[in-house]
Structure 1
Amino acid sequence: MNKSTQMMCCTVLAVAAAVAPTFANASPAGDKKFLATAAQADQNEIALSKLAQQKASNPDVKAFAGKMVDEHTQMTETMKPFATSRGLTPPMGPDADHQKELDKLNGLNGADFDKEYMSQMVTDHTKALSAFTSEAKSSNDPKLKAAVIDGKTHVAAHKNMAYDLKKKL
């Protein structure tokens, strides 16, 4: 190898060594942020849906709410080992915005309750689907990525069910 080729190789290796930690740390931080967001979203859905199981007047809305409680509880359990391994403490209830939504829903009855709840479900699942789609593309952890892709399938189905049910109300 001539001297200029050796210098070029050394330069490329030095740049790669300097840049590698940046890329190595980007994905785990993104994974951790996603896991925190997903855990909170699950708690929000569970809280709103438990209320809907009690207050919804439409039997289809009640059935949807039951499905949301069951499936978001399962999603929480699926993601828990990933969150725990990254030092995350799981949320214990809805965030401030969803607490306000709960308060609003508590003041509604009948068709007004059903429409507001389903509207919130469309909004929440649209946001969640975006987060799952982004994480599925960016995660470098193969086990997490598989769980995210599975979760994305459920969230997409939830969004479609919510949208279809909202249109019927």
Structure 2
Amino acid sequence: MACTLALGVVSVCGVAKMNAQTPEDDKKFLATVQQSDINEIKLSELAETKATNPAVKKFAMKMVTEHKMMEMKMKPFADEWGLQAPPDLDQDHKDEYAKLSGLSGADFDKEYVDAMKKDHTKALDLFTDEAKETKNMKFQAAVIQGKTHVAAHKNMAYDLGKKL
């Protein structure tokens, strides 16, 4: 009985120790990704209603769908590490949202696509660095999968920008 109890304590301590060893850089990256997903979703939801170019509307719909999917892929890690998704846009994206809200037509479409180019370029750099740096193999697999989506989003945004 004492041996079973000792194994149970070691087991619980092992789990606590494993969680305590989660690198802070991985947590910081994931918190950044959570904020980025919220930003992309909210700006793209606005674009779904305000964009006039059908290709921009289609792109915005894809951003909403795929960023929600990316949120779900990262949720198990966020839950394990005790991270909560942010409730709203960060300040830079609140400013961008306000700017976009005041635009219409081709001006809106161009500004939205420019914001997507900028955001996805920064995100791709973050995903690339995290994929190299993380030591958590399960997390690394999710990061690499996310990186593939972000790279595709960046390319779509740049291609779309050339047509506007």
Query: TM-score, normalising length from structure 1?
Result: 0.84
Measured in 2, the distance between the counterparts of 1:134 and 1:92 equals 26
**In the alignment, which of 47, 51, 54 is matched to residue 46 of structure 2?**
51
Tell me the equivalent position of 2:69: 74
- One-letter amino acid of the structure 2 residue matched with residue 156 of structure 1: A
Runs of 4 or more off by more than 6 Å in structure 1? none
SS in 1 for 2:87: coil
Query: How far does residue 149 in structure 1 lie from its aligned partner after superposition?
Result: 0.2
The whole-number CA distance in structure 2 between the counterparts of 1:92 and 1:63 is 25
* C-alpha deviation, 1:84, in angstroms: 1.5
| Cα deviation digits, residues 13-32 of structure 1 (max 9, x gap) | xxxxxxxxxxx96x711100
> 1:149 pairs with 134, 141, 144, which one?
144
Structure 2: which 5+ residue stretches go unaligned?
Answer: 1-19
* 2:96 maps to 1:93: no
Q: What SS is found at the alignment partner of 1:93?
A: coil
Deviation (angstroms), 1:89: 1.2
TM-score, structure 2 normalization = 0.86
Say whether residues 1:137 and 2:124 are aligned partners: no
Give structure 1 stretches of 5+ with no counterpart: 1-23
**Which residue number corresponds to residue 110 of structure 1?**
105
User: Identity of counterpart residues, as a percentage?
Assistant: 63
Letter in 1 for 2:82: G
The structural deviation recorded for 1:93 is 1.8
Q: How many residues align?
A: 145
